[in-house]
Chain A
Amino acid sequence: MSLARGMRSYLLGLGLAALLTTASFWTATTHVIYGPAIPVAIVVLALAQMGIHLVFFLHITTAPDNTNNVLALAFGILIACLVIFGSLWIMANLNHNMMAAHMASQAL
């Protein structure tokens, strides 16, 4: 990779990441956006920024010499999702089942 191309790629990555970070912090403090949509917006912005970092800083691309890295990343994401959403699901279920009878009737 030539120096100029490398520099352009890092600068582009920095610019996009800074833009998304600013948008994220703005979203969290603004009252312009419909309230319940804000957490979703923050998560989407975070995922987009992670993608930017992966492509421009970690150089995870679709190039042929990168196939193994992409496959490993896909597997890592699968496991991370299983751990996070599996834990949340199980704990929410447990919470529900542990609720005392009078609280359960209140919750209904």
Chain B
Amino acid sequence: MNTVALHPQGATDSAGPASRRIIVGYGFWLFLLSDIIMFSAFFATYAVLSGATDGGPTAAQLFDSRNVAVETACLLASSFACGMASLAVGERNQLWTQIALLATGVLGAAFLALEIKEFESLVARGAGPTRSGFLSAFFTLVGCHGLHITAGLLWLGTMMAQFLAKGFRETIRHRFLCFSLFWHALDIIWIAIFSLVYLNGTRV
């Protein structure tokens, strides 16, 4: 862009066009906020329906807070590993980038495996999504977060392959910036889930 034409007097105010990195991050941040607004609708649904158990099992009878603690630890460690990957990308270090991204992925997959196991055991105990309004809302909210994690894992694999095949070029680094924002935002949504759904639900 021709900045001389924009500032004919050679004005040196700092309000020039923002760098591409800032613009890409801002655009993706807007998407994440709209995603969070969608989640807020699911949270509202859950809050309204959390007492509608239709004589079926309640949150306190179903949820195992030890399992949730392990899931939470996996996701937090995964978020941290993703931060390490951002630092490695900043240093243009291929080995550490791949190691940190692999750790991010393995921890994310462990979280997902625990969640799928929990869902299976709920369905096996006759507490599937069709049992009551409470369980429909629960499976929608937590399942939607799980779907985001699944999509994130696919994206993560793609990023690892692209760093290997194409190196640290600018477009790939911007793509990775978006991925790291996505991954950290999913951890923020999980904070709301474990606090409102599990901890408040299992309290007796």
Contact = CB atoms under 8 A, between A and B. Distances in A.
A38 B198 CA distance: 13
Nearest to B45: A87
Nearest to B14: A64
Contacts of A84: 40, 43-44, 47
Nearest to B26: A68
Contacts of A39: 200, 203
Nearest to A78: B37
A104 interface: no
Given A46-B196, A53-B184, A88-B44, A10 B37 contact: no
B69 interface: yes
B36 A58 contact: no
Contact residues of A: prevailing secondary structure:
helix
Given A3-B90, A28-B65, A43 B33 contact: no
Contacts, number: 109
A54 B44 CA distance: 22
Interface in B82-120: 83-84, 86-87, 90-91
Contacts of A29: 65
Given A75-B33, A80-B40, A58 B76 contact: no
Contacts of A86: 44
Given A10-B83, A46-B192, A83-B41, A72 B33 contact: yes
Main secondary structure of the interface of B (DSSP, over half): helix
Interface in A59-97: 64-65, 68-69, 72-73, 75-76, 79-80, 83-84, 86-88, 91
Contacts of A57: 79, 83, 184, 187
Contacts of A58: 181, 184-185, 188
A34 interface: no
A3 B202 CA distance: 42
Interface residues of A, number: 43
Interface string B32-62: 0110110011011101100000000000000
Contacts of A13: 80, 83
B36 A6 contact: no
Interface of B: 14, 18, 22, 25-26, 29-30, 33-34, 36-37, 40-41, 43-45, 47-48, 65, 69, 72-73, 76, 79-80, 83-84, 86-87, 90-91, 181, 184-185, 187-188, 191-192, 194-196, 199-200, 202-203
Sorted from nearest, which 3 A-B pairs have the closest CB atoms? A76-B33, A87-B44, A46-B195
Interface of A: 1, 3, 6-7, 10, 13-14, 17-18, 21, 24-25, 27-29, 38-39, 42-43, 45-46, 49-50, 53-54, 57-58, 64-65, 68-69, 72-73, 75-76, 79-80, 83-84, 86-88, 91
